[in-house]
Amino acid sequence: MDKFKGSQNYVASEELMRAVNIAMVLQKPLLIKGEPGTGKTMLAEAIAATLEKKLIVWNIKSTTKAQDGLYVYDVVQRLYDSQFGGEGVDNIEKYVKLGKLGEAFTDREQVILLIDEIDKADLEFPNDLLWELDRMEFYIPETGRTVKANHRPVVIITSNAEKELPDAFLRRCVFHYIEFPDKELMAQIVRVHFPSLDEKLLTQVLEAFYKIRQLPQIKKKPSTSEMIDWIEALIHEGVDPGRIVSEVPYLGVVLKKNEDMDALRRNWR
């Protein structure tokens, strides 16, 4: 069995790598929770890249139904075709289009399936997928066909905890909570993105960034992606590293709310 050890573009903590490997060996879905911007979605990309497998992304929206992931039976198309005497109208199979889950099942090789932001969907959504994720198969009544996974896909599920997930669903998952990276790990992550970054700039930015995060008055705490954007802005404008902690230039990249900006200006010393 291949092992996940983080990738060139993704720095994973030791705990996260353990969780990924446990999920792969036990063939259970891996449920990833964590603050926004801790790289939940990027994890699946990194796993796919490391294991050199295809990544199939199923983005969940508030209107997504479990059925959409399995297959869609295009009745309207078939009706139209029957009107105009199209070829193969008798063949219902032609009008059954597989969804993302179906795609992942029928692929000739093992794939990575990312079910992104599962909590966006309806409350019952996870329950509707229990059987399919457990047995890795589903039945299409229209054609009488059972779609069975050729190879169990590696399933990664992310959640922002907007809604509670049902117990029955949780019981089948391996769970990992991505903590916000500490300074050391953050420095590693930044170096992956900016290999030739000036050490002095890095230490200054890290100091300022964690100082901002620790201010209790800040409502929306900046995340890793904001940190990366900020460094990019600082490099682009050629800001002197000495000014960063004292002046916090380009604050708009880090904080997105007016009230947070004001809070920072009042409490920064």
Partner 1 sequence: MFEEFLYLLRKRGLKVSLTEWVSLMEALNKGLHNSSFTGFYYLCRCLLVKSEADFDCFDRCFLDYFKDIPFHQEISQALLDWLEKSNAPLGEYDEQQAELSDQLSHNEIEALLKERKNEQREQHHCGNYWIGTHGMSTFGNMGMSPKGIRVGSEAVYKRAFRVAGERRFRDFREDSTLDIRQFQVALRKLRQFSGLVDLPRTQFDVDNTIQDTAQQGGMLKVRYKRPRENTVKILLLMDSGGSMEYYSSLCSALFRAVSKSGHFKELKIYYFHNCIYTRLYKNPIIDPRDSVPTDWALSNFSEDWKVIFVGDAQMDRRELEGHYCGHGEEGPRCGLDWLHLLRRRYPHIIWLNPSDRPNWGEEWSHSYDAIAELFPMFPLTVDGLEAGMRKLLVR
- Which of 2, 65, 80, 109 touches partner 1 (CB under 8 A)? 80
- Which of 139, 177, 194, 250 touches partner 1 (CB under 8 A)? 177
Instruction: Kindly indicate which of the ranges 53-61, 72-80, 192-200, 242-250 contains the residues binding partner 1, using the contact rule CB under 8 A.
Output: 72-80
What span, in angstroms and rounded, lies between the C-alpha atoms of 149 and 147? 7
CB of 72 to partner 1, least distance (A): 12
| CA distances in angstroms from 172 to 84, 119, 190, listed in the order given | 48, 16, 34
Bridge-based pairing state of the strands 71-73 and 96-98? antiparallel
What span, in angstroms and rounded, lies between the C-alpha atoms of 157 and 178? 13
CB of 153 to partner 1, least distance (A): 19
**Nearer Cβ to partner 1, position 173 or 205?**
173
**C-alpha neighbours within 13 Å on the C-beta side of residue 253:** 17
138 phi, psi to nearest 5 deg: -150, 165
Q: How many residues does the chain have?
A: 269
Burial (Cβ within 10 Å: 0-12, 13-18, ≥19) of residue 261 = middle
- Which of 175, 210, 250, 268 touches partner 1 (CB under 8 A)? 175
Work out whether 172 is an interface residue with partner 1 (CB under 8 A): yes
**Nearer Cβ to partner 1, position 19 or 208?**
19
What span, in angstroms and rounded, lies between the C-alpha atoms of 69 and 133? 11
Q: Which residues contact 79 (CB under 8 A, 6 or more apart)?
A: none
**Nearer Cβ to partner 1, position 159 or 224?**
159
CB of 143 to partner 1, least distance (A): 19
User: What is the token pair recorded at 17?
Assistant: 């790598």
**Nearer Cβ to partner 1, position 193 or 221?**
221
Work out whether 162 is an interface residue with partner 1 (CB under 8 A): yes
Q: Helix or strand or coil: residue 10?
A: strand
Work out whether 203 is an interface residue with partner 1 (CB under 8 A): no
CB of 49 to partner 1, least distance (A): 22
Instruction: Kindly indicate which of the ranges 48-56, 76-84, 226-234, 254-262 contains the residues binding partner 1, using the contact rule CB under 8 A.
Output: 76-84
Work out whether 123 is an interface residue with partner 1 (CB under 8 A): yes
User: What is the token pair recorded at 177?
Assistant: 């909570």
Work out whether 53 is an interface residue with partner 1 (CB under 8 A): no
User: What is the token pair recorded at 231?
Assistant: 């460094």
What span, in angstroms and rounded, lies between the C-alpha atoms of 9 and 49? 10
- Which of 33, 151, 152, 211 touches partner 1 (CB under 8 A)? 33
List residues near partner 1 by CB under 8 A: 15, 18-19, 21-22, 25-26, 28, 31, 33, 62, 75-76, 79-80, 82-83, 123, 162-167, 170-177, 179
